[in-house]
Amino acid sequence: MRRTPTPLSKGAGPLSVTSVRPRVQPMRKTCVVWADRPTASDAWHEVINEAELREHLLKSKKPVVLKWYAPWCQSCQRSYPEVGKMMYLFPDKLYNSFEYVKINLADLPKAWVQSQRVKNLPCMSYYHPGEVDTPAVTWEVPQAKAKFLRQNLQFALEHPGEKFTVDANMLFMVAEPTPALVEEAQRTKV
């Protein structure tokens, strides 16, 4: 069934630009509205400090994807809705393979944030199950690179226990190959 656009202003015809433009509600003038907006079925569990994050990471039976944000970060405001769209498109197996956590770094100790390899916002970290001290990888997630989230998480699932680095496109690569990976590469080379 095809819907025909209804005029929004008097005298606008069915092909008028004003007839297809949706009505937009004005945004509230607060900088944290975007961070509280539900994305991907409210998948993100919010932690408020380092101790709560450590506890969550220790209890986790699944790998953890941690979203770092700050209320003043305009890049986060543009990027994280794209991340939510990407998560919405994940197949169920991929979506259910991770725990999703977010943390506001505005009130955290700067030294601890830097120890987690956070240099710029927006960024995310990936922790293997039970890993607490340092993440397997921390990568920047600018709006244009949010589309690679699915590929990165799929790669992380295929390489459990590995440490990663990222290339210029923010795609994961194995940083330190394990002996098993080296043996496998040698077998396939012969």
Least confident of 21-25, 56-60, 90-94, 136-140: 21-25
Q: Is the pLDDT of residue 15 over 60?
A: no
Higher-confidence position of 107 and 23: 107
Lowest mean pLDDT among 65-69, 133-137, 177-181: 177-181
Range of weakest confidence among 59-63, 86-90, 127-131, 181-185: 181-185
Predicted local distance difference test score (pLDDT) of residue 18? 46
pTM: 0.69
Cα 39 to Cα 88: distance, rounded to the nearest angstrom:
8
Where residue 42 falls (left for φ over 0; alpha for ψ -120 to 50; beta otherwise) is left
Of 29-33, 140-144, 164-168, which gets the smallest average pLDDT? 29-33
User: Please, what is the average pLDDT of the chain?
Assistant: 77
Check residues 165 and 180 and name the one with the higher pLDDT.
165
State the CB neighbour count (10 A cutoff) for residue 117: 13
25, two tokens = 């509600």
Question: Is 54 in contact with 132 (CB distance < 8 Å)?
Answer: yes
In 10 A of CB 189, how many CB atoms?
6
Cα-Cα end-to-end distance for the chain:
59
- Counting residues of the chain whose pLDDT is more than 70, the rounded percentage is 73
Distance from C-alpha of 155 to C-alpha of 149, rounded to nearest angstrom? 10
The count of C-alpha atoms lying within 13 angstroms of the C-alpha of 27, restricted to the half-sphere facing its C-beta, is 8
Question: Please, is 93 exposed, middle or buried when counting C-beta atoms within 10 Å of its C-beta (0-12, 13-18, 19+)?
Answer: exposed
Q: Which of 51, 59, 152, 143 is nearest to 99 (CA)?
A: 59
Alpha carbon distance 136, 126 (integer Å)? 6
| 190 pLDDT above the threshold of 60 | no
| pLDDT given for residue 21 in this prediction | 45
> Average of pLDDT values for 118-146?
88
Starting at the edge strand found earlier in the chain, the sheet holding 44-47 runs 44-47, 99-104, 64-69, 123-127, 137-140
